[in-house]
């Protein structure tokens, strides 16, 4: 940890210049078109909430059908009547989600998928606060929204983001990995929470045009990872069948 802190301190002037440069040249992509609430499929009732930042919103693809929401609901539709909601904002951090819950209708959800962390890294949220906000978010979703399962998405390997130049790419990658390791430890101590990660390299071939957001292939892999955990959870699906 000391070596990591020292290296970041020595590189700070370079990192700041590169961060400014990246913000100036980043390509602003539109939000994908498509409904953010609805119902698909037939059979047992499965209530789904996807909540998060621009990746949860699906930035990087043209339609919600290609984004995490559409990719996941299309996989679940043959198994259940999926009632879904999407709550996501570009640039959102974990602390923002906590405040959103005050304004959301208090409905029950069987499955909640979260996606936060990248903006906590880029906006220099202290690790302690990030974990505290994640804890509050999980507790409130489990309590106030009666979420049966929470699938907490890990941070992407920012050290592979094509947009970021070196050594900024290296520094962001190290910090993202540090946050993810502690987030995984937090999730392991929560009975209703599951950690979700995807094992694939990121490069120009599968990232979006801005070199920062996922492309369709990454969203598909993410959705498949969440779907695999849901279908393996027989207790969750049995409960959904009983509530149908």
For residue range 128-169, list pLDDT tens digits in order: 999 999 999 999 999 999 999 999 999 999 999 999 999 999
**pLDDT band at 16; cut points 50, 70, 90:** confident
pLDDT recorded at residue 11: 66
Mean pLDDT of 215-229: 98
- Hey, what's the torsion of the CAs at 119, 37, 226, 223, to 10 degrees? -80
Report yes or no: 130 and 98 within 8 Å, Cβ to Cβ.
no
Element (H, E) at 148: none
- Hey, what's the torsion of the CAs at 37, 141, 47, 194, to 10 degrees? 110
Mean pLDDT of 20-27: 72
pLDDT recorded at residue 242: 66
Mean pLDDT of 34-42: 97
Other CB atoms within 10 A of residue 233 CB:
17
Does the pLDDT value for residue 35 go beyond 80? yes
Element (H, E) at 51: strand 44-52
Of 172, 179, 211, nearest to 197 (Cα)?
Answer: 179
Element (H, E) at 125: none
Other CB atoms within 10 A of residue 23 CB:
9
Mean pLDDT of 210-235: 96
Rg of the chain, C-alpha, whole Å: 18
pLDDT recorded at residue 20: 73
């Amino acid at each position: 940890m000391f070596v990591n802190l020292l290296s970041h301190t020595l590189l700070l002037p370079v990192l700041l210049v590169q961060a400014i440069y990246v913000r100036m040249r980043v390509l602003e992509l539109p939000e994908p078109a498509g409904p953010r609430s609805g119902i698909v499929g037939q059979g047992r009732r499965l209530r789904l909430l996807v909540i998060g930042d621009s990746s949860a919103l699906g930035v990087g693809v043209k339609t919600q059908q290609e984004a995490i929401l559409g990719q996941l609901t299309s996989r679940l539709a043959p198994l259940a009547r999926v009632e879904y909601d999407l709550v996501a904002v570009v640039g959102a951090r974990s602390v923002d989600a906590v405040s959103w819950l005050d304004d959301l209708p208090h409905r029950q959800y069987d499955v909640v998928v979260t996606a936060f962390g990248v903006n906590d890294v880029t906006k220099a949220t202290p690790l302690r606060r990030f974990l505290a906000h994640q804890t509050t978010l999980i507790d409130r979703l489990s309590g106030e929204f009666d979420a049966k399962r929470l699938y907490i998405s890990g941070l992407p390997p920012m050290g592979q983001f094509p947009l970021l130049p070196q050594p900024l790419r290296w520094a962001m990658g190290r910090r993202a990995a540090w946050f993810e390791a502690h987030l995984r430890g937090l999730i392991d101590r929560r009975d209703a929470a599951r950690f979700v990660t995807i094992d694939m390299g990121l490069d120009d071939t599968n990232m979006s045009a801005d070199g920062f957001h996922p492309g369709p292939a990454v969203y598909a892999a993410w959705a498949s990872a969440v779907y695999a955990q849901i279908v393996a959870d027989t207790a969750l699906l049995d409960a959904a069948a009983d509530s149908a």
